[in-house]
Structure 1
Amino acid sequence: MYAYGGRRTKAQQDAATVEIGYALVSALFAAGVLFGAVAGPALLFDLPRLLSLVLLRLGTAVAPVVFTARVISVLVRFRKAGQPSHPGRTNPDS
């Protein structure tokens, strides 16, 4: 909650909120795509019962893992990156 010995600025709070939203949306997308890739054939085609069941369970088991891993990786990367001292400037000496 505190950064550099003081309270967070409104800009820092907004940046954290946007990053959390991005992490959740991108994780949901990644998990959905993975579930569709793994379990999709079982839902679209007439496969043998055992194979269909395995694909559905595998997709259901892997999707939450991917969701969690994506959220954690985005938020850890955001925390390590920090905020630029001069937004919009690419050269620190400018």
Structure 2
Amino acid sequence: MDGYGGRGRKAEQDAMTVEIGYAVVSAVFAAGVVFGAVAGPALLFDLPDLLSRLLLRAGLTLAPIVFVVRAVSVVVRFRRGAQPSQPGRTNPDS
């Protein structure tokens, strides 16, 4: 049954779905933090117009880059097989 899309295949699909969800959520969080750190002062304080526009544009440029880099790095790390074969189990020799 495992050879024709049985439990093993379904478990792999479920694991990938969870990993993609984690990648998206953590990427949104990282992008939000970067945007807040870069553009936050422009939104919170009364800065000169040029500096305010520069900070907002920098935040709007960096946030999507951070999102893509984080999402791709999480999925690539998962594809390389960094997951243990039996989570929570230790080596019997230890």
Equivalent residue, structure 2, for 1:74:
74
Equivalent residue, structure 1, for 2:25:
25
Equivalent residue, structure 1, for 2:57:
57
Count of residues in Structure 1 that have an aligned counterpart in Structure 2: 90
CA pair 87-81 structure 1, distance change in 2 beyond 3 A: same
CA pair 39-22 structure 1, distance change in 2 beyond 3 A: same
CA pair 13-69 structure 1, distance change in 2 beyond 3 A: same
Report the identity percentage. 71
Between structures 1 and 2, the one with greater strand share: 1
CA pair 92-25 structure 1, distance change in 2 beyond 3 A: farther
C-alpha deviations, 1:42-61, integer Å up to 9, x for none? 00000000000000000000
Q: What TM-score comes out, normalization by structure 1 length?
A: 0.84
Q: RMSD of aligned C-alpha atoms? A: 2.1
Q: C-alpha displacement at 1:27, in angstroms?
A: 0.1
Stretches of structure 2 that go unaligned for 5 or more consecutive residues are none
C-alpha deviations, 1:5-44, integer Å up to 9, x for none? 8646211111000000000000000000100000000000
Q: What TM-score comes out, normalization by structure 2 length?
A: 0.84
